[in-house]
Amino acid sequence: MQATPAFAQATRTWVSGVGDDVNPCSRTAPCKTFAGAISKTAAGGEINCLDPAGYGAVTINKSLVIDCHFTEGGVLASGNGIVINAAATDTIVLRGLDIFGVSPPTNGIRILVAGAVHIEDCVIRRFNAANSDGISVAPTVALKLYINDTRISENGNGATGGGIELIPGVGGSVNASLQNVHLMNNANNGLRVDSTNGQVAVEMQDGQVSGSTQGVSVNGGASAAGLMLNNVTITGNSSVGIVAVNATANLRVDNSTITANALGVLTGSGASIFSYGHNRLDNNPNGGTNNGAFTGAIIPTK
């Protein structure tokens, strides 16, 4: 009987569309899937893509970088595309991935436990079942989330799901930075923030939220829900551009355009949406004057 060779975990591994998961995942003998490579990659290591291909769904349980920036790292997934369930101190980086949902999809990226997650230069689309999100963030620990240069579209279905959903579990919190993130044609919410179980603080800059029912939705819970929008275009949402509910929901908006939504800005139950005075709140809906109003103005200090 021939023994199967054992491979030590490497700090850098490789995948290829013509690879094989029985390989050691070296550059000259790459694996075929992310799931095959992760078991052969050391904690804190990196998986790279050699060529454009579909590399399959994966669960990440340790500090890891998946970098396909110079080619296409495809993830064609029914269910969740990528699940992050690591340690509370682990850092995960996802770069250059095209994550595509097929029937029946769940979430493009599902984040449960990590210390920090970086999502860079990715496309996440077509997770279009009920309650499905492009990125679903539900940590039970304190999480730092950074999303840069990423497009998220056609997620959710009907009155549920959408682009990005930030809802910590009990004991969790989220501190998120979204830079050059485009949320387009998602179902119920483009961006949803909910602090029912834990604090959420979000800064979104240089982005777009369009084509959803509610563009940006913030629900304040037992903890604070804070959101800063800077240079964000919110347009073409069929119910409302920005909505905030409950006294613990506190939003700031600057240098942003809110136009061609059924309703521009809406607050309820003591929520606050403040303007720094450099926004364009007009033409909601297209050709109309249903703009709503900011809670008040903040005069920037010099």
Digit-coded pLDDT (tens) for 191-202: 999 999 999 999
pLDDT one-digit tens code per residue, 62-113: 999 999 999 999 999 999 999 999 999 999 999 999 999 999 999 999 999 9
Whether residues 17 and 153 fall in one domain: yes
Whether residues 119 and 233 fall in one domain: no
Whether residues 30 and 136 fall in one domain: yes
Nearest-angstrom CA–CA distance, 212 and 261: 10
Whether residues 216 and 289 fall in one domain: yes
Alpha helices (H) along the chain: 34-38
Count of structural domains, the chain: 2
Nearest-angstrom CA–CA distance, 128 and 189: 13
Q: Is position 174 within any domain?
A: no
Select from 181, 277, 144, 163 the least CA-distant residue to 217: 163
Q: How many CB atoms lie within 10 A of CB 41?
A: 23
Cβ–Cβ < 8 Å for 110, 86: no
Whether residues 147 and 222 fall in one domain: no
Nearest-angstrom CA–CA distance, 103 and 192: 24
Q: Is position 257 within any domain?
A: yes
Q: Is position 281 within any domain?
A: yes
Q: How many CB atoms lie within 10 A of CB 274?
A: 16
SS3 263: coil
Whether residues 138 and 24 fall in one domain: yes
Whether residues 143 and 277 fall in one domain: no
Compare 138 and 301 and report the one with higher pLDDT. Answer: 138
Nearest-angstrom CA–CA distance, 37 and 15: 7
Q: Are strands 142-153 and 272-275 parallel, antiparallel or unpaired?
A: unpaired
Whether residues 151 and 15 fall in one domain: yes
Whether residues 199 and 79 fall in one domain: no
Quote the percentage of the chain above a pLDDT of 70. 97
**Domain of 17, in residue numbers:** 11-159
Cβ–Cβ < 8 Å for 206, 228: no
Q: Is position 1 within any domain?
A: no
Q: Is position 256 within any domain?
A: yes
Q: Is position 171 within any domain?
A: no
Whether residues 208 and 149 fall in one domain: no
pTM of the predicted protein model: 0.96
Which amino acid is it at 195?
Answer: S
Q: Are strands 53-54 and 58-60 parallel, antiparallel or unpaired?
A: unpaired
pLDDT one-digit tens code per residue, 103-139: 999 999 999 999 999 999 999 999 999 999 999 999 9
Select from 234, 119, 115 the least CA-distant residue to 186: 234
Nearest-angstrom CA–CA distance, 265 and 294: 7
pLDDT one-digit tens code per residue, 205-248: 999 999 999 999 999 999 999 999 999 999 999 999 999 999 99
Nearest-angstrom CA–CA distance, 48 and 11: 11
Whether residues 195 and 109 fall in one domain: no
Q: Is position 88 within any domain?
A: yes
**pLDDT for 17 beyond 90:** yes
Select from 34, 43, 59 the least CA-distant residue to 9: 43
Whether residues 135 and 50 fall in one domain: yes
